[in-house]
Amino acid sequence: MKLPIEFLNKMNRLLGDKEYGEFIDSFNKPRFYGLRVNTLKINLDDFQRITPFKLRPIPWVKDGFYFSEKDFPGRHPYYHAGLYYIQEPSAMYPGSVADARPGERILDLCAAPGGKSVQLAAGLNGKGLLVANDISSDRVKALVKNIELCGVKNAVVTNETPDNLARRFGAFFDKVIVDAPCSGEGMFRKDEAAARSWNNFKSDKCTAMQRDILDNVDKLLRPGGSLIYSTCTFAPEEDEMMISEFLDKHNDYEICPIPKSGGIADGRPDFADGNQGLRNTSRLWPHLLEGEGHFTAMLKKTENADNDKSYSLKFNQIKNDALDEFHRFASANLNCDIEGRFELKGNNLYCIPYETPSLDGLRVAKFGWYLGEFNRGKFEPSHSMVISLKKEDIKNVVNLSSDSKEVLSYLKGETLMQDCDTTGLTCISVDGYTLGWAKFTGGVFKNLYPKGWRRMS
């Protein structure tokens, strides 16, 4: 692999000859592949019982596993059922450090494509609020899709700048996760294009963005809350030095110790100003563990920090006739009650977490759990609804085997021919896990799997 000379010289100065040699050797070794089990849809024991892949645990995350490059889990029906998320193993570490708990209010500030967001959502387990934001309108589309694929009900997705979020929310969040835009040096082995484009995204171009983001995070985090900062770069300017600079400007924060296992190393005070507290940060080096390069720090804001804690809750009353139509649909098709705060955006119906403040003035890509739309007064359920429910929650279900031709036909959007007792709207499941909708009439299932999600082969 060809790496930029300036980068190599810098790493040699930082690491010294012996460790530098080990570091460079790691770029000639194969990369590692990982998936994280989505515990919103399946528990670890059940997944390990049904998985067709040979897996090894990833040491720093309880629900993460290495898989073989030859397995292609992205092509398996379980992927389309949202049973796991495919993610580089080191990238799972910041979400594990965040340790989301039910009931918390969490902001994932630089969230696309969504790996950390769905990891945080699994920790919340449907309780509390996740706001997943990305400034890129193109990247936010993938973020919405991955949140829906994993069956997340309590997430709002925004497409905003950090300062606009700070003006709207104030010091609202218990935890803010910043996977900061960076020079990407830790991804060189995974993506050679990152090495080729390094001169366009060097540290001096990224640090200004990181400073601005962190200054706004301070306005978004409640007293006593936690900031989790991560990058996928080795550059001290974006890692230890950025944390040290933030602490100099914000003396109401302290660095917290975080779990380290599987070869994760301490942060390097000698890369910054010698602050020994930086040892509590973490570095994931590719020559010391089975993963790519990452840096992670967790900072706690003192309880008596002086922030504006005000925010406003604004509920839009849904029209009774629309809500009555939805309840008629639910009574006819579901075995469960859908509870929450219902809001109508145009013809689209959402169930929004109670903790959500007013979103007026923000660019919102997803207001919560998207349930469906009203078409000429009739409610039509969304794919987001069915993929977020359990098989037992739905009255009409046809279960397909993961190794059947029928499940592949369904994922391609093809019509299914089945002998069954059901009629009308039906959930298609794979090995007992919801996959999508179909409508049964005249011995034929009309395929309702979303066109943009269908497999081509």
Q: Give me the active site residues, please.
A: 232
Tokens of residue 445, six digits = 């299932």
Alpha carbons 128 and 343: distance in angstroms, whole number:
18
Alpha carbons 227 and 431: distance in angstroms, whole number:
39
Contact 1, 195 (CB under 8 A): yes
Tokens of residue 89, six digits = 């193993």
- Name the pairing type of β-strands 105-108 and 129-133: parallel
Tokens of residue 185, six digits = 């040096």
Alpha carbons 214 and 227: distance in angstroms, whole number:
9
**Half-sphere exposure (CA, 13 Å, Cβ side) for 39?**
16
- Name the pairing type of β-strands 173-179 and 105-108: parallel
Rounded to 10 deg, the angle between the 203-220 and 162-169 helix axes is 10
